[in-house]
């Protein structure tokens, strides 16, 4: 069958793709703009963070909405936005936990995310040219942070070279009996994703120069990954333990300790103060477009949030 060359990709399923000298810029500006108009939030006051530091939402907070349709539509749209916006991943995941019986408090929480997006409308994900394709992973967990069932929230960020290519935040499926267990579950998830991406990179014929490194800020979890002796007190995480240990022992990945100060994945597991949130956001390769010349001039540059 015939194939038509449409040139460089500019738009795909709501994601805008812009090319620059040093790489690509992926954003969803129009999608955000349309969502704000649809929810009548186009004139709302912007906020600096997607979630308040003191916010500890419970399923029983507030009065149940008469019609949950609007809440579900907003949160569904926010889920799609998180494809290019890792900075809202934690907040959106939290909002998803109340889809069954949302309340007015939960709606206010979702609208706060919209207010944050109003102030960061032009922000997007930078994919920069790089000579390195080595993989690094950051994993973190917030132990027993959910007030309803005391399950933990885990998250990971995967970088290929300097580029963030995969991220995830999720409420863990089982209750962790210690912070080490919660962190180790996050490590196992991060290892699994990293090895899948490594396999894909190899399938593309790209060579890496070193073993992938996973950074964890929990000494206990780091020790478990490297220690061949299995402790009785950790038997309840036996599957995760043996999976990670097998990959470490076969030099498929290396697990190292990183100070909590430099744990980038912290942004995926809990609400943060504005200063800490902004500090970690700069490591997510998010930037903003600044165009030069007239309105119709498509030339421009990506301005890093660290600038």
Nearest to 136 by CA among 155, 160, 156, 154: 160
Tell me: pLDDT of 234 over 80.
Answer: no
Give pLDDT tens digits for 265-286.
Answer: 999 999 999 999 999 999 999 9
| Domains of the chain as residue ranges with CATH | 11-125+288-304 (no CATH), 130-264 (3.30.420.10)
| pLDDT for residue 290 | 64
| pLDDT for residue 295 | 30
Provide the whole-model pTM: 0.90
Give pLDDT tens digits for 83-138.
Answer: 999 999 999 999 999 999 999 999 999 999 999 999 999 999 999 988 889 999 99
Give pLDDT tens digits for 61-73.
Answer: 999 999 999 999 9
């Amino acid at each position: 069958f015939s194939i038509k060359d449409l040139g460089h990709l500019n738009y795909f399923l709501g994601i805008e793709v812009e090319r620059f000298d040093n790489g690509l810029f992926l954003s969803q500006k129009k999608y955000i703009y349309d969502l704000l108009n649809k929810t009548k939030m186009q004139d709302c006051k912007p906020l600096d963070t997607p979630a308040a530091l003191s916010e500890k939402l419970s399923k029983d907070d507030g009065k149940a909405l008469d019609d949950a349709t609007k809440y579900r539509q907003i949160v569904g749209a926010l889920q799609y936005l998180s494809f290019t916006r890792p900075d809202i991943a934690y907040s959106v995941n939290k909002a998803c936990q109340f889809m069954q019986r949302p309340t007015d408090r939960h709606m206010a929480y979702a609208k706060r995310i919209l207010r944050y997006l109003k102030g960061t409308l032009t922000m997007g994900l930078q994919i920069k040219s790089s000579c390195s394709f080595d993989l690094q992973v950051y994993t973190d967990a917030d132990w027993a942070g959910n007030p309803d069932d005391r399950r933990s929230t885990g998250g990971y960020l995967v970088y290929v070279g300097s580029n963030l290519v995969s991220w995830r935040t999720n409420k863990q499926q089982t209750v962790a009996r210690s912070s080490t267990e919660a962190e180790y579950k996050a490590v196992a998830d991060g290892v699994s994703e990293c090895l899948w991406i490594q396999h894909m990179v190899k399938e593309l014929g790209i060579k890496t120069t070193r073993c992938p490194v996973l950074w964890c800020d929990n000494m206990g979890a780091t020790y478990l990954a490297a220690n061949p002796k299995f402790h009785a007190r950790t038997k309840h995480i036996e599957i995760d333990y043996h999976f990670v240990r097998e990959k470490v022992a076969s030099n498929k990945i290396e697990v190292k300790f990183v100070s909590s100060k430099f744990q980038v994945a912290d942004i995926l597991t809990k609400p943060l103060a504005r200063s800490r949130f902004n500090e970690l956001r700069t490591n997510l390769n998010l930037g903003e477009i600044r165009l030069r010349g007239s309105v119709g001039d498509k030339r421009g540059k990506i301005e890093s949030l660290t600038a």
